[in-house]
Amino acid sequence: MWYPENKQELEDFIDNTFKKKPNIKPKKINGLIVPHAGYEYSGEIAGKAFSLLNGKKIDCAVIIGPSHYVHLSSFVTSSLDEWKTPIGTIELKKINLPIGNIEGEHSIKNQVPFLQMLGIKQIIPIMVGEITNENARELARKLSRIKAVYIFSTDLTHFMEYSQAKEKDAKTINILENLDLDNFLAVDACGYYPLLVLMHLCTIKKTEPHLIEYKNSGDITSDKSSVVGYCSMWF
């Protein structure tokens, strides 16, 4: 279970994460990078980032996440008209992309309750497989023409020892902050290909990611023998 199935419990959890807003006030936010683990592990890190969107007039969010369960060498969206969470239903806005079965992809679905709590009425979910750099640039160009906030979903290192994970994750965050495509192969994240799209989108939008918070599961469970890294960023 990725998040509470009880509506009130889920809303209370998200509302509490929004109250832990970061001590920054960006004038303009094009989008966010957020983790997608179970809420007990990364929900507060994601919620802190989503809180930066609270009070802003946003009609639509594009959610870009990796494929965990299906081998994919392209990017696809959903054919459905709406998705449902314990909070209610949300409309899916149509976009001219190939269709795939992405309803079970938690990297995308785990972001939806946060968006619902922000009052956002439409989403465009996109699942990204093992695409080429040119494919990533092509998708970024397409996304740049959509009036929406962009939500890129990724966790960082998986199952490393605590100090090794922190070191590796710091390198990934540095590459993202500097839009360092020359060293992008060093990025260690399950959302590697969505982040490649992000790099091109930031170039088009003339912006760059800024770190909000980094933690790994060892900070939360105190088990530092094998951890998963999480970060949130705005751009």
Which tens digits make up the pLDDT trace of 141-190? Answer: 999 999 999 999 999 999 999 999 999 999 999 999 999 999 999 999 99
**pTM summary value:** 0.97
Mean pLDDT for 127-132 is 98
Which tens digits make up the pLDDT trace of 182-219? Answer: 999 999 999 999 999 999 999 999 999 999 999 999 99
Instruction: Assess contact for 12 and 87: CB atoms under 8 A.
Output: no
Structural domains in the chain, CATH included, are 30-234 (3.40.830.10)
Q: Is the dihedral of CA 58, 213, 178, 196 positive or negative?
A: negative
Mean pLDDT for 85-109 is 96
Name the packing angle between helices 162-177 and 192-205 (round to 10°). Answer: 30
In which band, very low, low, confident or very high, does the pLDDT at 22 lie, cut at 50, 70 and 90?
Answer: very high
